[in-house]
Structures are given as C-alpha cells and as structure tokens.
Copies of this chain bind each other. A is one copy, B any other.
Amino acid sequence: MALIVQKYGGTSVGNTERIKNVARRVAKYRAQGDQVVVVVSAMSGVTDGLIKLAKDITLLPSEREMDMLLATGEQQTIALAAIALHSLGLPAVSLTGAQAGIVTDGVHTKAKIQNITPSEVHKLLDAGNVVIVAGFQGQTPEGAITTLGRGGSDLTAIALAAALKADLCQIYTDVDGVYTADPRIVPAARKIPEIAYDEMLELAGSGAKVMQLRSVEFAKKFNVVFEVRSSLNDNPGTIVKEETNSMENVVVRGVSFDKNQAKITLFGVPDQPGRAARIFRALSDAAINVDMIVQNASHGGGVPATDLSFTVDKPDLAKASHVIDGLKATVGFKETVADENIGKLSIVGVGMRSHSGVAARMFDVLAHEGVNIGMISTSEIKISVIIELSKGEQAMRALHKAFLE
C-alpha cells in the first residue's frame, strides 16, 4: 500500500467526461490498496474566462482580488472530482488550498509556499477517503486567499508529496513524459525513462515546455521523486529524480530548441568597468528577463572596446531595444543590432561532466549541416548555441541523430 499524490492539469479535467476519467483512474489505484491524494487545476478555459471578466472591468485589477477570483476555478474542479469519485462508490472529500493547510507568503498572484500542515489531509486519508486538493492556491497566515502563479498546481502536488512523505508523485499531463526531443520535430525522439532534476531543469529552461522550473527546483530541494505521465493512457512516463551514477553513462539526455528568443548586439562598448552592469540593471529595472550573455574580447584601436550580445524573450524585444537605445549616451556604445530570426539550440546531459569533447562534437555536427553559430553559452551539463531560426529543426534532428540514436 503506497501513498500517491496525483496531479491532473486543466486539459485532463477539461469537461465532466474527463473528470469522470480521472475518477476511474484514481479508483484503479484505490482498488490496489493505495491511498490517493489528487491535486487538480481549473478546467481548461475557466481561468481565462475569469481573467476576461476582470479585464472587462479594468485593465489593472488588484492582485489580491484576482487571487480571490481565480481560486474559484480549482475549487470548482475539486468539488466535481469528489462528486465523480462518489458516483463510483468511493469516499472522497475535497479541500481548498487553505483547508489542506497550504500556507503561503502574501505575494498575490505569485505566492510562495511557506509551509504545509497536512493534518486534515492525513485525517481524511486515515478515514479511508480519497482527498482532492485544489492546486495553484493557498492562504496567508492571516487568511487571505493566494495563488501560486504559473505551474502552481504542479508545485502544490510536489509540495504536498513532500509534506505527506508520499511514496510517489504523479504529474498527469497530455504528453507521455519527457522526450529526448520534441517528437513533432524529431520523429526519432524517444521517451526518457529516468531523468535527473538538473537535466529536467536545463531542458525546461531551454524551451522544452513540460513543467515550470520552480516546481522542478522545489522537487529537487525536497528530493521528491515524481513521474510525468499521460492522463490519456496507461503508459509509464518519465521519472524525475536525484542523479544516479548510471545516469552519467548517457552523454546527452535531450535536445531542445527555443524559438522564443531574440538577440541584441551592442557594438563598440567601451571596455571599462561598470558599463555592462549599467546595461543589465536598466533591463532588469524594466522587468526584462535576459537569458544568454556573451561578451567578446576587447578589440580595436584607441579606447579599447568590445561587442556585447544577449538574448531576451521574443515578446520583450521591442521594449529591450527601447531601453538600450536610451543608454547610448551614458554607456557610449557605437550601434545596436536586434535580431529576432534566431533560436536557442541546447543539448543537456549530466554525462557531459564525465565525457570530454561534447562541445567539439556538437559544433562539428552543426558545421556539417551548414549551421552558423551566433553565440555560445555552456553550463556543467548543458551547451546552448544561438543559431538562425530557420535552421532550428534541421539542427535538432542532426544533433539527435549524432548523440541519441
């Protein structure tokens, strides 16, 4: 008998028929004697509908009240899921985030979980119930309703699994697991049976949109083993866990391509202390997230100068260009070039630590394909390059073939 936390996203509970499917799946686990805690998101479309109502009233609604509003989405799903379990003859009780003992800080719309007191969940489980908890939400110590922001339901599931010392945490989604590459682009892509937290983090940060970074970070911090799997079939998914020795035998775990990047290059930045700081502080003040930064060695006659390139999310490009233009006088660079026809191609694997020559091999493969490399950035377990957008898919297939087939 195991204690399992299962999380179902908005698509998996998108209508009453799907909610009944969730109930049937839960019933299977109960039938084999497991205790089950179910975490659900709002039915797909519900949250967007509520946001639209608020925006009808004002474009800048209060964050506290948005939390009050949006928390109703998950609350509806937990009630419907409990009703669906009852209709199968299973005892089930729904709990809001607050009722489940999820306490957060007071940063509305992106609250952080401070602690979980799962006594009510334990009590209900011990009485034989399936316990259904609203994902994405909690309450402050003062009793205000909060939401956890994007990917919040995954976080609820993983945090509950940690607090309950669950044997297993399953994240049900509409894909079968984590793949070596996006199968729509790379037909030879395979499902990865096991992946290390760090690899999952690097893949998520490289455009593979399986889960939000913060949920994986939380799982890593509290060492919660979780499985990403499909709510549409019974196939085993991908287990995400602490790195094991055998994982290092695989050099590259996955290949990803992030089309959502744009590049800005500043030519002729005076090579003096504080210039880069001034640039990136201005971007940060404008709430623009910078991903890769590459600065070349100093060059040129007269005052030594350098070229500085960085990438931002594509939707932020216009705003970033505007910020940079305003710095021309104080920073003293010569000119800027913005390029949105680029993407970030990455290979990820903990095996890179113990295998040398991975970068060289990657660059060889790309050269062979005629793909020009614009920027390079590496971490211990990841190599990312900026390439021309139109070459992305071809390059992915080539790297996948070289490292993973």
Which positions in A face B, CB cutoff 8 Å? 16, 19-20, 50, 53-54, 56-58, 61-62, 64-66, 68-69, 71-73, 75-76, 78-80, 82-84, 86-87, 93-94, 96, 99, 143, 145
Contacts and interface: CB of A to CB of B under 8 A. Distances in A.
Given A80-B69, A86-B65, A57 B19 contact: yes
Given A53-B76, A57-B80, A69-B80, 16 more contacts: A16-B56, A19-B57, A50-B76, A53-B80, A54-B83, A57-B84, A57-B87, A58-B84, A58-B86, A61-B86, A65-B79, A65-B83, A68-B78, A69-B76, A69-B83, A99-B143
B82 A62 contact: yes
A64 B57 CA distance: 33
A53 B80 CA distance: 8
A350 B93 CA distance: 50
- The A contact surface, by secondary structure, is helix
Pairs A-B, 3 closest by C-beta atoms: A69-B79, A72-B72, A58-B87
A58 B75 contact: no
Given A20-B57, A53-B16, A83 B71 contact: no
12 contacts: A16-B53, A20-B57, A58-B83, A58-B84, A58-B87, A62-B82, A64-B93, A65-B83, A65-B94, A69-B75, A69-B80, A72-B75
Copies per assembly: 2
Given A57-B20, A79-B54, A86 B62 contact: yes
Nearest to A59: B87
Contacts of A75: 68-69, 71-72, 75
Contacts of A78: 68
A76 B86 CA distance: 26
A75 B68 CA distance: 7
A329 to B, nearest CB: 39
Contacts of A20: 57
Contact of A68 (B54, B64, B66, B79): B79
A50 to B, nearest CB: 7
A300 to B, nearest CB: 54
Contacts of A50: 76
A78 B50 CA distance: 13
A99 B83 CA distance: 25
Contacts of A53: 16, 76, 80
Contacts of A56: 16
A62 B87 CA distance: 9
Nearest to A54: B83
A79 B66 contact: yes
Q: Which of A16, A65, A66 has most chain B Cβ within 10 Å? A: A65
A27 to B, nearest CB: 14
Contact of A54 (B54, B61, B80, B93): B80
Contact of A83 (B19, B61, B80, B96): B61
A199 to B, nearest CB: 39
A17 B214 CA distance: 38
B72 A76 contact: yes
Nearest to A77: B69
Nearest to A134: B68
Contacts of A19: 57
Contacts of A61: 83, 86
Given A16-B53, A53-B16, A143-B99, A82 B68 contact: yes
Contacts of A72: 72-73, 75-76
Contacts of A58: 83-84, 86-87
A73 B82 CA distance: 18
Contacts of A87: 57-58
